[in-house]
Amino acid sequence: MDQTTIKNIVIVGGGTSGWMTAAMLAKLFNKQLDITLIESDVIGTIGVGEATIPPLQIFNSVLGIKESDFINATQATYKLGIEFEHWYQQGDSYMHAFGNIGRDLGFTSFHHYWLCAQAAHNADSDTQYNPADFWRYSINYQAAKHNKFQPIANIPNAQMSGITHAYHFDASLYASMLQQYCSQRGVTRVEGKIDKTALDNNGNIASVHLQNGQTIVGDLFIDCSGFAALLIEQALGVDYENWQHWLPCDSAYAVPCESTSPMLPYTKATAHDAGWQWRIPLQHRTGNGIVYSSQYMSDIQAKQLLLNNLDGKPLAEPRKINFTTGRRVKQWHKNCIAIGLSSGFLEPLESTSLHLVQSAIIRLTKLFPHHGIQSQQIDEFNRQSQTEFEQIRDFIILHYHLNTKQTAPDNTGLWQYCRDMNIPDSLRQKIDLFRQTACVFRHQDELFTEAAWIQVMLGQGIQPADFHPLAAAVEPAALQDYFGNIVKVINTTVANMPEHSAFIRAL
């Protein structure tokens, strides 16, 4: 057991993860810690990471950053969900809309009543089961598709939750905003390139050495050096668990283009022959990128495909990024904690990387080793990180695995591979349970909600064989009233909301 007081914190890296970590530690520990952040202007940052999920609101609010200040400083727009085009099959589209869908009755989730009504409808008429109908009961989906936005917590007089939102924002502007925030709270910024790391006799990091001759010592080192993983991998040799056999995409091109009107309040993820393309609408531009597997598509093809599918004029040359999907086997080792890309990477399909940064920071503050690092703290931190990475991994694999796409002439392409691959048992169990019973159970503090899993499983073509028997206990006429009322209150609420761009202009 190490009894050293932990006071000097050295954060290596000034990308979004480095500045988010510095900002939260400076805010919460309020001068109890000496925080130094080292970044290299020559190396720069990855420069992507513009779409988020709802918990970022909590992060900003703990920092005391007002939403309107954040929106204005980072050219942000609101995000109500992600639309997946051509994922299940060509021409098909569905949304993972944030928030709840419909209204649960007692212990029984809304979708069981919806499935019950669909089954009754099919038995009574020639109409087919229509999964698209499910999103009529999502206020986020309806607002997104009508290009409306207003942050209402609840729908008045309806016992239904209102809008759940996240943001699209310019990540480099966010990092600058946090840098300013940190300088007002005593964080020391050091510019320079680290070329050496010194370890002590116990294998802990003692100091980092910069090319300009400076040496910086610390008690606790946070590795936010991005894919370089300068401390956790290069200095401490912690392994990386490769998940490419489940998520084969390994390359991306990113390019901004002129923004187009209307400014959509949702992200678009459009599947193509060997991966997918993102569209992220910001106030001043649209962020675009193509994610693909180099085994199934060449760089030249990918770059051209991206440029051919922009909504506006490109504003820069497309930039290539290589990555390996997976996770650091130990995110915390010795006196070093990896946060951000150094700790692992899951492709941006569900915009989860910055969330993983946020939750690692929160985990660190909860398990902070004030009076020396205890092995129990390390083990608990690593256990939670592993669970979180694996749960998100499963959710992303779900989108790829459940496809019926026929792209390559001989069906040997990415989509066929993903359809045929062995998936993790944890995901197989979830899919099978939903297919048979329409039930979804979340484990521990799982990030994605029941509604999120249901939307992606329905959207990716699962038609559950059954629904909960309690759904059939409601009289059909009462069920129709219940559905009619939900649709009515959602439509009325959305009709009264301002346009997304008008709401932002008024901030």
Nearer to ligand FAD, 22 or 116 (CB): 22
CB of 89 to ligand FAD, least distance (A): 25
CB of 45 to ligand FAD, least distance (A): 3
Range list of β-strands (E), 98-204? 154-155, 160-161, 166-168, 188-191, 194-199
Nearer to ligand FAD, 142 or 351 (CB): 351
Nearer to ligand FAD, 36 or 45 (CB): 45
CB of 55 to ligand FAD, least distance (A): 11
Residue among 194, 234, 229 nearest 212 (CA): 194
CA–CA dist 437, 113 (Å, integer): 13
CB of 249 to ligand FAD, least distance (A): 9
CB of 56 to ligand FAD, least distance (A): 9
For residue 188, list its beta bridge partners. Answer: 36
Nearer to ligand FAD, 49 or 459 (CB): 49
Look up residue 195 and give its two tokens.
Answer: 């070329």
CB of 214 to ligand FAD, least distance (A): 11
CB of 412 to ligand FAD, least distance (A): 25
Phi-psi region of 499 (alpha: psi -120 to 50; beta: other; left: phi over 0): beta
For residue 221, list its beta bridge partners. Answer: 10, 336
Nearer to ligand FAD, 81 or 340 (CB): 340
CB of 303 to ligand FAD, least distance (A): 14
Nearer to ligand FAD, 238 or 479 (CB): 238
CA–CA dist 479, 468 (Å, integer): 14
- Which residues make up the interface to ligand FAD (CB under 6 A)? 13-18, 38-40, 43-46, 48-52, 171, 193-194, 224-226, 228, 230, 252, 254, 289, 321, 323, 340-341, 348, 351, 353-354, 357
Look up residue 302 and give its two tokens.
Answer: 């990918």
Q: DSSP string of 11-47?
A: EE--SHHHHHHHHHHHHHHTTSSEEEEEE-TTT----
Nearer to ligand FAD, 352 or 493 (CB): 352
Q: What is the 3-state secondary structure (H, E, C) of 46-114?
A: CCCCCECCCCHHHHHHHHCCCHHHHHHHCCCEEECEEEEECCCCCCCEEEEECCCCCCCECCECHHHHH
Per-residue burial over 459-492, b = 16 or more CB atoms within 10 Å of its CB, e = otherwise: bbebebeebbeebeebeeeebeebbeebeebbee
Catalytic residue among 7, 27, 79, 268, which? 79
Alpha-helical segments (H) within 338-449: 353-366, 375-401, 414-420, 425-437
CA–CA dist 319, 419 (Å, integer): 30
Angle of helix 476-495 versus helix 110-124 axis, rounded to 10: 120
For residue 281, is the peptide bond before it cis, meaning its omega torsion is within 30 degrees of 0?
A: no
Dihedral of the alpha carbons of 61, 66, 69, 73, in degrees to the nearest 10: -10
Look up residue 258 and give its two tokens.
Answer: 């002129």
Nearer to ligand FAD, 320 or 370 (CB): 320
Active site residue 193: no
Q: Which residues are catalytic?
A: 79
